[in-house]
């Protein structure tokens, strides 16, 4: 048997065993991401104190539904006030 044949056989066995181990692993549940809402621009944000407006924003990943609620979501990063719903600009 040539060295090339041996290498091909070893690769085949290795890939086969890796796939068998992969399929034997329990499926890990996907993390549930928060839904990203459209900002209606009707509610004020932050706190106005002594003439200074303070807004504490976070950037997090979430599910965005650009087409329709029944279409698959797209995972994107969006802004949200600290501890609040993620939002994107309304259309």
Give the Cα separation of 90 and 48 in Å (integer). Answer: 23
Give the Cα separation of 73 and 65 in Å (integer). Answer: 5
Work out the average pLDDT over 69-77.
91
Q: With a cut of 50, say whether residue 51 has pLDDT above it.
A: yes
Share of the chain above pLDDT 70, in %: 65
- pLDDT confidence of residue 90: 72
**Residue 57 CA from chain centroid, whole number:** 18
């Amino acid at each position: 048997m040539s060295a090339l044949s041996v290498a091909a056989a070893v690769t085949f066995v290795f890939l086969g065993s890796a796939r068998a181990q992969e399929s034997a692993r329990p499926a890990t549940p996907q993390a549930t991401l928060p839904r990203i809402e459209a900002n209606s621009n009707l509610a004020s944000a932050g706190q106005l104190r002594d003439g200074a407006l303070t807004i504490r924003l976070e950037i997090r990943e979430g599910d965005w539904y650009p087409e329709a609620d029944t279409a698959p979501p797209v995972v994107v990063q969006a802004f949200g006030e600290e501890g609040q719903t993620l939002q994107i600009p309304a259309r």
